[in-house]
Amino acid sequence: MSAQRQDAVRRITAPEITARKGGDPLVCLTAYTAPMAELLDPHCEVLLVGDSVGMVVHGLPNTVGVTLDMMILHGQAVMRGAKRAMVVIDMPFGSYEGPPQIAFENAARVLKETGAQAVKVEAGPTIAETIRYLVQRGVPVMGHVGLRPQAVNVDGAFRAKGKTEDERTRVLAEAEAAADAGAFAIVVEGVAESLAREITAAVDAPTIGIGASAGCDGQILVTDDMLGLFEWTPRFVRRYADLRGEIGGAVERWAADVRARRFPGEAETYFSKRPAEA
Ligand code: KIV
């Protein structure tokens, strides 16, 4: 084996994630850039390049406007920063809901151009066939049930799911269909604890909760939310830092130093060794 092969990174794989069902909780976070991926990598089993990138980084009102090219660009960046976590990339709205063959072409492009190991799809009622088609052709797929952000225009808003019996039955059926079709893990978003526990008990794939209680096999949050980069966050987010305040304070101090000519000082200045200036 060449030295280069020996040095190759050993990343957590899809079967290893599946094998964690019912074991120690899976720790997952979103990442969109190389430096953030490098910081998160030692602590997480999965880094998700979520299509939330559209809202978090690009200022879009929802995820519908995110494109395949955006996901690939951010996926490449995250792969440069992450060394051991499994990197999963969201398939954006419009890239997988049509014929499975098109979904495969788009998913294959994502894996080839980023080197990431898997894709995630929002698993509505008709998606099981596509998940099976992708998995059978070598694309590991993570499902996503419950609150499906890409369905915002049908739902009218980002709303928790499973409040009625009909909705509970539908979300459970979607999770079971995604797992039966071969999804190696399933994100469960915005559902009550009882439904999260029911889904977790019903499927062999580990469930990864976001706003879905401690009844899941793992947890994921949007990193920027838990770091306190936004003024408003959903109720299910716990803030572990106040980076918005930190950044605002740091920039305020720097701006004051520039205005008062305290920055740059000698320590931040290059001096020439030419005799005339010595
Ligand atoms: O896009 C995203 O960040 C996600 C997570 C919230 C699970 O899908």
Q: Which domain holds residue 143?
A: 7-227+234-239
By percentage, how much of the chain surpasses pLDDT 90?
Answer: 90
State the pLDDT at residue 277: 55
Q: Is the CB of 187 under 6 A from ligand 1?
A: yes
What is the whole-number distance in angstroms between the Cα of residue 104 and the centre of ligand 1? 21
Q: Do 81 and 114 contact (CB within 8 A), yes or no?
A: no
Residue 181 in domain: yes
Q: Do 146 and 161 contact (CB within 8 A), yes or no?
A: yes
Q: Single out the residue of 178, 181, 94 nearest to residue 137, CA to CA.
A: 181
Q: State the catalytic residues.
A: 189
Q: What is the mean pLDDT of residues 66-76?
A: 98
Q: Is the CB of 225 under 6 A from ligand 1?
A: no
Distance CA 88, CA 249 (A): 34
Q: What is the mean pLDDT of residues 29-56?
A: 98
State the pLDDT at residue 127: 94
State the pLDDT at residue 69: 98
Indicate if 162 and 259 belong to the same structural domain: no
Residue nearest to atom 5 of ligand 1 (CA): 50
What is the whole-number distance in angstroms between the Cα of residue 223 and the centre of ligand 1? 10
On the question of pLDDT at 275 being above 80, the answer is: no
Strand pairing report for 141-146 and 185-189:
parallel
On the question of pLDDT at 278 being above 60, the answer is: no
CATH number for the domain including 177? 3.20.20.60
Give tens-digit pLDDT for 185-224.
999 999 999 999 999 999 999 999 999 999 999 999 999 9
Indicate if 57 and 155 belong to the same structural domain: yes
Residue 193 in domain: yes
Indicate if 253 and 211 belong to the same structural domain: no
What is the whole-number distance in angstroms between the Cα of residue 48 and the centre of ligand 1? 7
**Mean pLDDT (the chain, rounded):** 95
Indicate if 134 and 111 belong to the same structural domain: yes
Indicate if 168 and 259 belong to the same structural domain: no
Indicate if 162 and 249 belong to the same structural domain: no
Indicate if 90 and 203 belong to the same structural domain: yes
Compute, in degrees rounded to 10, the torsion defined by CA atoms 176, 181, 182, 186.
Answer: -40
On the question of pLDDT at 80 being above 80, the answer is: yes
- From 26, 30, 32, 74, mutation site for ligand 1 pocket: most ligand atoms within 8 A of C-beta: 30
Query: Alpha helix locations (H) across 115-242?
Result: 128-136, 152-155, 165-180, 193-202, 223-226
On the question of pLDDT at 47 being above 70, the answer is: yes
State the pLDDT at residue 5: 54
Distance CA 28, CA 26 (A): 6
Distance CA 100, CA 108 (A): 12
Position in ligand 1 atom list of the atom nearest CA 120: 8
Indicate if 116 and 248 belong to the same structural domain: no
Indicate if 77 and 195 belong to the same structural domain: yes
Residue 1 in domain: no
User: 248 burial class (0-12, 13-18, 19+ CB within 10 angstroms)?
Assistant: exposed
State the pLDDT at residue 274: 79
What is the whole-number distance in angstroms between the Cα of residue 52 and the centre of ligand 1? 6
Indicate if 266 and 206 belong to the same structural domain: no
Indicate if 99 and 182 belong to the same structural domain: yes
